[in-house]
Chain A
């Protein structure tokens, strides 16, 4: 499971970085989104990959080893919310630039041929 998980993160990051370096604003925002997915998966993975282990203890007399670590899950939630908000903000700026400059190039003008 770890190998597949790590591969998925790696592919997402590679695609994200490549897109981030592209000249069109839409590609940039897709790249940033992919990077944020990869980051969120990574944080989640840092809580160790385990199945069928609930994160919430019901009583104090239970072996905590049998339970998943809830903190990374809470961190992921926060990171998702923040990433979502900043992506939305980026989208607005992207549209404003498109409207003002009449092009979707990140430098607000087409490169000379």
Chain B
């Protein structure tokens, strides 16, 4: 039994890899088998992620004393071998990934996974990349897993083809490839100066770098940071995001909900590891704060400007990224628990909302396949080469499973729940997250200094609520109250259930706010005391040298 438990951290990577590979071998007609493998794999991952989450809490301190588990791949010890590290933050992100992926996958079974074999395989690989990125304790492996998830996402963005999708997909791939090169250059610079890629080992060695190398190392860290900010959807590097999210089909967009959070996770992880150096931490904080604030404002403008629901949700992803980055940029430790709370709810919310848009799209009589319906014109039917018979195979409704009664009422209820979640109104956890965030910001605002950073951010947080309500109400009224262009769609249980499931999870989080908050406080504590992380990963305590002489 303990042997199995020892190998738990590697399962979130191995299980989707094997499941994805296995499904490539199955013929198109084996739908039931393929669906069962996909659901089975994600259910197993959810169970593993929740077990890991439990193991990192204080309740299970006998398993991992510091709440941090290290899995050395091939039993090679830490600075030389590649390690997977499970701490509370990783376990939290893993659980979120599995919950969102499971909901999106079940939703996709309705009719979104047809046609085309690779959907399920690609989806499993997307999940594998996300899991790996959250687990790895090694910078280069972080790059590899990010590439895995991006490669899968390139394929998923193009689902359904059509000129608009392929064009946006091309932009998306080009931007992310360029970002990947920046990532590599940053990693190479860091390796070239410090001589290690292990995040824990890095920490001890940076402090004793000679000044010459220190400048190079800083350059590498900044380049790496730019790559992370592209992934996180931070202004001005986020022009790819609204297009890519609004153009992809609903379950894929929901699966992407956690993708920008990979960037935020990396900033959080490396930022706390690097912040031992006072001067660097201040600069990092200021840059994060200002880019976050601009991101937030640009996202709000986008929300107000757009007329299309899915595009609006994509802009709300940008707003949440901006909010997270700006709050982290304040450089107060107390802000981390509410930030984590907000991250959790915002991932679940956006996933639910993206799934919902797939259904509300069908209430319109004329169905635009994408945000900007391009004229198909006299084009070459190249999509035939992909085994697709029409440019938008999702335009047709196919009968799968039982339909649910009162479809419009259900859609309306779910829409209202999602609006409350995005805007942060009670009784849903969006409110709790924003409220705790605001209270921390306001408490510490006088302390943070003459920059008035806290006050500005507090105003911005409140503004996001108002802007979300205004923008979403406007679209909601057109969607549900204007009688002119509407019809009641047939909703299937497999489509409706995942959305309801995500909303119920959110409700559960709201109900359990106290215990959740305590967990997030524990997470923040372990993040801001990296010694435990380093000690556990390297097996020895690294003495933190005073860095006064090294700069």
Minimum CB distance partner of A74 in chain B: B140
Which residues, 156 to 181 on B, are CB-close (under 8 Å) to A?
158, 161-164, 166-167, 169-171, 173-174, 177-178, 180-181
Closest to A46 in B: B192
Q: Do A78 and B163 form a contact, CB below 8 Å, given A86-B147, A86-B177?
A: no
In the complex, what residues of B have CB within 8 A of residue A93's CB? 154, 158, 166, 169-170, 173
Task: Write the chain A residue with the least CB distance to B190.
Answer: A46
What is the distance, in angstroms, from A48's C-beta to the closest C-beta of chain B? 8
Asked if A94 is an interface residue, CB under 8 A from chain B, the answer is yes
CB–CB A46/B177 < 8 A: no
Please give the distance in Å from A78's CB to the nearest CB on chain B.
Answer: 7
Chain A residues numbered 72-93 whose CB sits less than 8 Å from any CB in chain B: 72, 75, 78-79, 82, 85-87, 89-90, 93
Cβ-defined contact, B163 with A32, below 8 A: no
Q: Which residues of B contact A72 (CB under 8 A)?
A: 188, 191-192
Q: How far is the CA of A60 from the CA of B365 in the complex (A)?
A: 75
Q: Are the C-beta atoms of B178 and A32 separated by less than 8 Å? A: yes
User: Taking the nearest CB of chain B, how far is it from the CB of A93, in angstroms?
Assistant: 5
Contact A89-B151, Cβ < 8 Å, known A75-B140, A78-B144, A99-B380: yes
Query: Roughly how many angstroms separate A95 CA and B383 CA in the complex, as a whole number?
Result: 11
- On chain A, the residues within 8 Å of B374 by CB distance are 108
With the chains together, A43 CA to B182 CA distance in Å? 11
Q: Which of A1-50 contact B (CB under 8 A)?
A: 20, 25, 28, 32, 35-36, 38-39, 42-43, 45-48
Does A58 lie at the interface of the complex (its beta carbon under 8 Å from any beta carbon of B)?
A: no
Q: How large, as a class, is the contact surface on chain B?
A: 35 or more
Contact across chains for B188 and A32 when beta carbons are under 8 A apart: no
Shortest beta-carbon distance, B388 to chain A, in Å?
11
> How far does the alpha carbon of A38 sit from the alpha carbon of B185 in the complex, in Å?
10
Chain A positions within 8 Å of B383 at CB level: 96, 100
Q: How far is the CA of A99 from the CA of B167 in the complex (A)?
A: 11
Asked if A75 and B188 sit within 8 Å, CB to CB, the answer is: yes
How would you classify the secondary structure of chain A's contact residues: helix, strand, loop or mixed?
A: helix
B382 in contact (CB, < 8 A): yes
Asked whether, in the complex, the Cβ of A100 is within 8 Å of the Cβ of B191, the reply is no
Chain B residues with CB under 8 A of A101: 163, 166-167, 379
Contact of A75 among B167, B178, B191 (CB under 8 A): B191
Given A43-B184, A85-B151, A93-B169: A20 touches B380 (CB 8 Å cut-off): no
Cβ of A107 under 8 Å from chain B: yes
Cα A75 to Cα B140 with chains together (Å): 8
Contact indicator A108/B163 (Cβ below 8 Å): yes
On whether A97 and B174 interact (CB within 8 A), knowing A82-B144, A102-B379, the answer reads no
Q: A-contacting residues of B (Cβ < 8 Å)?
A: 140, 144, 147, 150-151, 154-155, 158, 161-164, 166-167, 169-171, 173-174, 177-178, 180-181, 184-185, 187-189, 191-192, 197, 374, 377-380, 382-383, 385-386, 391
13 A–B contact pairs at CB < 8 A?
A38-B181, A39-B184, A43-B187, A46-B192, A71-B191, A72-B191, A75-B188, A78-B140, A93-B154, A93-B158, A96-B166, A101-B379, A106-B170
Which A residues lie at the B interface, using CB under 8 A? 20, 25, 28, 32, 35-36, 38-39, 42-43, 45-48, 71-72, 75, 78-79, 82, 85-87, 89-90, 93-97, 99-102, 106-108
